[in-house]
Each structure stands twice: as structure tokens, then as C-alpha cells.
Amino acid sequence: MAMLALSLSLSLSSRPLSSSSAFLRSKQRAPHLHLHRLLLPKPLSSASTSACALTPPTPLADTTPAPDADPTPLFLRPATHRVPPTALAAFRRRASALVPPSAPHLHRHLRWLLADATDPSSSAAAASDGDGPALLRAPLEDLEAMWLRHVRERTPFQYVVGNEHWRDLVVAVAEGVLIPRPETEAVVDMVRAVEGFADGWWADLGTGSGAIAVAVARELGAHGRVFATDVSEVAIDVARLNVQRYGVQDKVEIRHGSWFEPLQDLKGKLMGVISNPPYIPTDDLPGLQPEVGWHEPKLALDGGKDGLEHLLHLCEGLSSVLEPGGFFVFETNGDKQSEFLVDLISTKWSSSFHNVKAVLDFADIKRFVTGYRR
């Protein structure tokens, strides 16, 4: 990918972020604005009162960026485009005019777009000069195209700007890679609660953007490692970018392949297995929010007929890779899936696992299944 050719320094988005503020920001979003992999009460339509007034009733034929569009996350691009204050103010007015009264959250997204696009040092200089030009990371016409993709095509904001704020990270994302969700942040805390976790070897199966792998790696000690796998080459590229940006190449090894296949040399050696696999039942995919169903990769969403296809495969392979006492945590679609898996593992594989339980997310949904190898 072209983004890998650019500087991989630890640049951060201009949006302020701390570990606690990122988590709280995620939790305080209105539930219907979350880009969850959850069903809406009913599919949005052009007549829906909750839908944006500019939202088309059906997916556009082609919502992908132009072939020559810069794939580099906006906040990682150099600020080389000088824009007069009057032109920037005019863009802000045009963009604000596209926000309907039914979607006030888009005003916040516009502020975030301009924050990611603006070099903070040039903004401070412009403010002191009064009339000085701002230095932007993209031409105004590119920002306008990004904004139209978001408000008219329902492209997730994270894809538009190329990042998501997750825990204390600014994770690069791209179309073709699942956007990390705030509830998944809890997985890292579960790993940290495992005795001796810091020097263990961990696997993040279906790593996607690499968010979990990077966050866990930053908590590990001198001997700890994370082996992150994904079958998607796009995900592999994005995960490598995030690993390099956060300087954890010595802690994270990314392997291309499906689930356990790239880990044949690690059988019986892992302290833990982490996975947020596809878990949406195939028949439920058409009911997902447009931002999810139209744009996020089906490969990362579709869990088969009952949503359990990949979760059951992971359960089958766990005992072969975990060391005695090893820990596992899987994210699920919620209560019913978690309860089913807890019952299945506790009966079918009772001789291999113990202390298997469902764990609540911050919305009191049984989002995770955890347990230990005997």
C-alpha cells in the first residue's frame, strides 16, 4: 500500500486524546450513532426519521475513493497546503450547510475532520498573525470530497480520515479493515489481569487493524510477544503500519493466514489467545447500519448461518495452541452466543478448560467468553 512508503513516525491526530478520554468519548456517544456490528431496530430508509436527510435509500453503485486518492491516513500526511483563512471559513460554512437537523453529530465530525487536517503549529502561527494562512494536510477540494463521502454516501468517518481513537491509541484504518469498536477495548484489560501475562506469548487471531495486538504489546515485558494473524492482505498491511508507528516491531509478529494456520510452530506454547472474529449471522447482514453493511468488509462481519461458524472453529483449535493454564477471550454478538459457547465449552471440552464464563461489556451485554486451559 502507498501509505507504507510514507514516514512511519509516531505522529498523532490533532484531536486531543488520553486513555481515559478516548474510552469515555466512546461510551458517551448516543447508542444509535455507534458503528456497532449490531442490528438496527429496522433498516434505515429515506423515509426514516432517524436517517440523515441526504442519505440515499439504497447503497451507491460505487462508494470507493478515486483510484488516485491518497490512501495515507489524513493525520499522517505532511501539512503542505497553504489555505487562506477566508477559504477555510467558506469550506466550513459549506460543509455545515450539508448537516441536517436530524444528524447533529456530523458537526462534531466536521470539527474532527478539520482537526486532523490542520497542523497545530501552523494554526497557532496563523492565530498570532491574524490573517496568516493555515497549513493543511490535504487540499480543500480533497476535504470537500471526504466530507461528501461521509454525509452522502454514509462512509464511516474513520475510513474518511483513516484513523480511529481507541484506548490510548490513534489506530490507522482503511477500507477493507474492520473499524475497532470501543467495547473491544476491555479485552486488553482482561489480558492484563492474567497472572504473569507480561512475559507470555499471545495470539491475536483476525487482528484486522492490529489495534489489540499493539495495545497488548505495549503492556508486555522483555520476553512477551504477540503473534497477530489475518487472512486479509489489506488488514496485514494496515496492522504492520500500526505496529511500526508505535514501535512494537520487537513485540508483535504479524503472520498472514487463517486463524491457527500460521501458528503451527507455536502449539502448546501460548499463554493466551484473543480473537474478535466475524459473528453476525449471514441473514442479519442486510439489517446492519449503512455505515457498516455498505462499507465494512463482509469478511470481518459474516459469521455464517447462525454467526457461530468462526467462533466454533476457534473453540476447536484452542487446546492445541494454549499451554497449561493458558487464557482465552473471544468477543461475541452478545448474550445468546456467549451463553451457548460457555455451555458448549464447559460440557464438550470440560476436560480441557475450566473457569469458562461470559463477561459483560460496558452496556451490560454478555459480550465476551473467557476461560483457562487445564
Q: What is the pLDDT of residues 36-45, one digit of tens each?
A: 333 322 222 2
Residue 135 grid cell: 497549513
Low-confidence ranges of the chain (pLDDT < 70): 1-68, 122-130
What's the CATH code, domain 172-373?
3.40.50.150
CA-based radius of gyration for the chain: 21
Residue 316, C-beta contacts closer than 8 angstroms, at least 6 positions apart? none
Name the DSSP letter for residue 59.
-
Domain ranges of the chain: 74-153, 172-373
pLDDT tens track for 127-169: 555 578 899 999 999 999 999 999 999 999 999 999 999 999 9
58-73 core/surface letters (b: 16 or more CB in 10 A; e: else):
eeeeebebeeeebebb
Amino acid at 300: A
Residue 56 grid cell: 440515499
**Residues 342 and 312: beta-carbon distance below 8 Å:** no
Partners of 170 in beta bridges: 165
Compute the distance between CA of residue 187 and CA of residue 175 in angstroms, rounded to an integer: 24
Whose CA is closest to 116, among 178, 170, 35, 176? 170
**Residues 98 and 91: beta-carbon distance below 8 Å:** no
Place of cell 462481519: 301
**Residues 80 and 113: beta-carbon distance below 8 Å:** no
**What pLDDT is attached to residue 132?**
80
Distances (CA, A) of 174 to 27, 158, 275: 23, 8, 20
**What pLDDT is attached to residue 66?**
58
User: In the chain, what is the straight-line distance between the N-terminal and C-terminal CA atoms, in Å?
Assistant: 43
**What pLDDT is attached to residue 72?**
92
Say if residue 97 is exposed, middle or buried (CB neighbours under 10 Å; 0-12, 13-18, 19+): exposed
